Amino acid sequence: MSKSTGLDRRNFLKGAGLTALAGAASVGGVASSASAAATEGPSYFRKGKYDFDTIYSRIGTDCVKWDDQITLFGDKVKVGMGIADMDFRAAPCIGDAMSQRLQHENWGYLRADGLNSYIEAITDWNRERHNLDVDPASIVVATGVHPGLIATLKTFSPPASKVLMMTPTYNGFYSDLTRSQTIKNESVMIFENGRYTVDWDDFEARMTSDTHSLLLCNPQNPTGNVWSEDDLLRIGELCLKHQVVVLADEIHADFVREGVKYTPFASLPDKDIVNNSVSFKAITKTFSMPASKNAYWFSTNPVFLERIKVNHRPDINTLGVVANEAAYRHGADWLDQLLPYLDANHQYVEDFLIENLPQVGYTKAEGTFLSWLHFDEIMDAVGVVETSAASQNTDNPMTETEAFEAWLVENAGVQLNDGEGYGKGGERSMRMNIGTSRQQIVTAMNSMAEAINNI
């Protein structure tokens, strides 16, 4: 989708910054009471050591979440609620560690093997927060989850073979398929009682002789599902039976709502199932620093490790290592304050929708900082079918959910991610990122309510 405004970017961003912040502060209609509540805030939010409540503008920093959307859609964008990073000021321990490293003014190659202190920080975090023992010798560093996923797909899934996914699923997986020259094999999940479940018959039927890998997302982006141990065991058993390797992407592991349990795939109580898997993790989502380009993967299966390493170049970024290690070692209290804030954001969205937009289908996510909203007949009412059809022979062909994304920006000033990007099953849904200050969410929700209720 190419949408260009052709504006002078620097000047435009300056002005757009004012627009976005003004938008956040002044909301109309149903907005005013909710806005006041958010500004006063439950006293709880005022008490913490870290301030997640004050809007922290990222405009003008070349960030995808705001600047890219303003470039694409123009100054209509009031609130960017798209790509999955968060708007908060980072945990102070991260900046402190980076400042200290800056004193040493040399940026030569960093060894990717033998980063003992960093690897120890990773294993400590997994043990302490997730009760998972990872053998340090099995950890391979990477500049992101994607490079590890691509190397692993190249190892197990030859070009033109199929990769199984439970959809809707993380949109970035589709670009990993492109880079490994593999083909999607989408098992659409069943949406029942507000929760997504695996369609087990379809899932197994898709484990054909040309399907060698499963891309599993836990906790699941975009639906917010946190898979139970039973679900994971059943997935693992079927994959073992049909010789499908499990690629467990657990980048959202640190985000589970209170009372929900995240089960690392590598912690399952069946050695054979675990040996048939590779896990991909990072702390970059957790502390909102994905551009620090640090992630890692590991497996209990030494043959897998050696085979994947042939396709993987373990590069790593010096300041990224410093930032990530600082977060692992000293960031827990920041995260412990953030998680209830995100829980409350999820709750706010649920309460708001029930009260003001009951026509939007929604179930609060069990994990992640993402909300998966179902717009169903609202999308039809605004004519996305016609808009999409009319766009097909233009420079800017749009899917129906892209047409709705554009409609929401135009009419509510809110940018969400289009549901069809997440594969089959996303045709009437949109993903909303709630990893931002409450006031931004209040602005977005009120603006959407006003626009939709005026249709």
User: Which is closer to ligand PLP, CB of 217 or CB of 322?
Assistant: 217
Site for ligand PLP contains 31 (CB under 6 A): no
- Of residues 278, 274, 284, the one with CA closest to residue 312: 278
Instruction: Give the residue with the Cβ less far from ligand PLP, 23 or 80.
Output: 80
35 contributes a contact to ligand PLP by CB under 6 A: no
Question: Considering the complex, what minimum distance in angstroms separates the CB of residue 284 from ligand PLP?
Answer: 6
Separation between Cα atoms, residue 313 and residue 224, nearest integer Å: 31
Residue 163 touches ligand PLP, criterion: CB under 6 A: no
Q: Minimum distance between the CB of residue 65 and ligand PLP, rounded to whole angstroms?
A: 11
Q: Which amino acid is at 376?
A: D
Determine which residue in the list 23, 80, 168, 172 makes contact with ligand PLP, applying CB under 6 A.
172
Q: Enumerate residues 45-84 that contact ligand PLP by CB under 6 A.
A: 84
What phi and psi values does residue 221 have, to the nearest 5 degrees? Answer: -100, 120
Q: Which is nearer to ligand PLP, 289 or 403 (CB)?
A: 289
Which positions from 237 to 256 touch ligand PLP by CB under 6 A, shown as an x/- string? ------------x-x-----
What are the residues whose beta carbons fall under 8 Å from the beta carbon of 196, sequence distance 6 or more? 166, 168, 189, 190, 220, 223, 225
Scanning 26-34, 282-290, 338-346, 429-437 for contacts with ligand PLP by CB under 6 A, the matching segment is: 282-290
Spell out the residues 6+ positions from residue 198 whose beta carbon is closer than 8 angstroms to its own: 166, 187, 189, 190, 231, 234, 235
For residue 115, CA distances in Å to 99, 128, 441 come to 20, 20, 40
Tell me if 221 contacts ligand PLP by CB under 6 A.
yes
User: Which CA distances in Å does 270 have to 33, 45, 229, 274?
Assistant: 53, 42, 11, 6
Residue type, 102: L
Return the residue of 88, 170, 297, 372 that touches ligand PLP, per CB under 6 A: 170
Choice from 144, 314, 331, 435 touching ligand PLP (CB under 6 A): 144
Helix (H, G, I), strand (E, B) or coil at 83: coil
Q: Which one of the spans 2-10, 144-152, 155-163, 185-193 is the region binding ligand PLP (CB under 6 A)?
A: 144-152
To the nearest 10 degrees (0 to 180), the angle between helices 302-309 and 145-156 is 100
With CB under 6 A as the rule, give the number of residues binding ligand PLP: 14
Measured CA to CA, the distance from residue 342 to residue 48 in angstroms comes to 14
Q: Closer to ligand PLP at the Cβ: 226 or 295?
A: 295
Q: Based on the shown chain and the rule CB under 6 A, indicate whether residue 278 belongs to the binding site for ligand PLP.
A: no
Can residue 217 be called a binding residue for ligand PLP (CB under 6 A)?
yes
295 binds ligand PLP (CB under 6 A): yes
* Residue-wise burial string across 24-35, b where 16 or more C-beta atoms lie within 10 A, e elsewhere: beebeebbeebb
Report the residue from 146, 242, 330, 364 that binds ligand PLP according to the rule CB under 6 A.
146
Q: Binding to ligand PLP by residue 290, rule CB under 6 A? A: yes
Residues 321, 402: Cα–Cα separation, whole Å? 36
Distance between start and end Cα atoms, the chain: 26
Contact positions vs ligand PLP (CB under 6 A): 84, 144-146, 170, 172, 217, 221, 249, 251, 282, 284, 290, 295
